Amino acid sequence: MLIMRRHRSTETTTCLPWLCENPTGVDAVAWKEVPTPSPGAGEVLIAIKAASLNFPDLLVVQNKYQMKPTPPFVPGSEFAGVVEAVGDGVKHVKPGDAVAAFSGTGGFATHACVKADVVMPLPRGFAFDDAAAFVLTYGTTHHALVDRAALKAGETLLVLGAAGGVGTAAIQIGKAVGARVIAAASSDEKCALCREIGADETINYGSANLREEIKRLTGGKGPDVVYDPVGGDRPSRCSARSPGVAATSWSALPRAAFLPCPGTRHSSRAPRSSACSGASLPAGSRRPMRGRSPSWRSGMRRARSSP
C-alpha cells in the first residue's frame, strides 16, 4: 500500500491533479493545473492530505477495471483530508472536519469534490495516512471473511499473499473475529511482518512446500477458510469445511476465478467484485445483506464511538 501525501500550499483557487486524459497506462497520467471545483448540492470539497494507491487504481488508468470513468478523470479511489466547503443538503460534515472518502476516482489531487454519501467523518486522532488506506483493503476483507465466508471464532483461516494490503487486513480481521490465522507469504521478511501483526503461524512458500506445511499446521484437516487475494498458481485446494470455502480476489485472472477447491462451487464467470470473487459459497454460510450498513461505514461508526 503506497500512501501519497499532498504538498503544502496556501493557494486554494488552483487544484493540482494527476489527470488521465487517455487511459493507456501510468505514463499517460499527467500533473495538471486546473481551477479548484466548487461543491454542488449534495457534494463535499475536500483538501486532500493523503491518498493510497491500490491495485484498482493501476487498472483504471489502463482501462482494465470494471468501472471505466469517462476521460479526462483523476485516478485515486480513496483518500483522506479536511473539508473545505459543502453543498446544499450536506449535514453530516462541515468545513474543518477531518474526513475519509471512497469515491472511486479523484484522490490523486490537491482537492476533490465528491458526493457526500462517500464521505465519512474521522474519529478524533485518526491519522490521515491510516484513514486513506482503510476503506478499500479492510472493507473488502471484512466483506469477504465476515459477510461471505462467515468466519467464526475458533476456526482456522489461511491467508495467501498475506503480506500485502488485503492480506495484512485479513490477518487482523481474522484475529479480531477470534480465528486461528495461518499466514503464507513468499519470504522470511514478509512472514516476520505477518507474525508481528498477529498471525499465529506462518508459511514461507518461497522455500517450503505449501501443501505439506498446511497439512502439518492443521493436523491434516486443512483450514476452515482460505483467503486468496492473488489466485493464479497458488491453489486453494485445502479447506476443511464441507463444502469448503475459498474467498479469492482477481489480480491473477483468469485463473483466480476458477480455483478448484473440493466441495466448493465456483462460478463460471469472472468476478464482479474483488471482495469475494469466484466462490459460490454454501447457502448455510451466507448472511443476508438486506438492511445492513456497508461494512466500512459500520466500522467507522464503531471506531468513532471508541475512546
pLDDT tens sequence across 269-297: 223 333 333 333 333 333 333 233 334 44
pLDDT of residue 269: 26
CA-based Rg of the chain, rounded to a whole angstrom?
A: 20
Q: Copy the grid coordinates of residue 53.
A: 494507491
Tell me: pLDDT of 63 over 50.
Answer: yes
Phi-psi region of 111 (alpha: psi -120 to 50; beta: other; left: phi over 0): beta
H or E segment and range at residue 183: strand 180-185
Q: How far apart are CA 119 and CA 129, in angstroms?
A: 16
**CB 3: neighbour CB atoms within 10 A?**
16
Residues 6+ apart with CB under 8 A from 30: 18, 19, 21
pTM surpassing 0.85? Answer: no
The answer on pLDDT for 255 being more than 60 is no
Torsion 104-106-111-112 (CA) sign: negative
139 Cβ partners below 8 Å, 6+ apart? Answer: 102, 275, 294, 295, 296, 299
The residue among 259, 219, 261 whose CA lies nearest residue 237 is: 261
Q: Domains in the chain, ordered, with CATH?
A: 2-133 (3.90.180.10), 136-284 (3.40.50.720)
Residue range 121-174, pLDDT digits in tens: 999 999 999 999 999 999 989 999 999 899 999 999 999 999 999 999 999 999
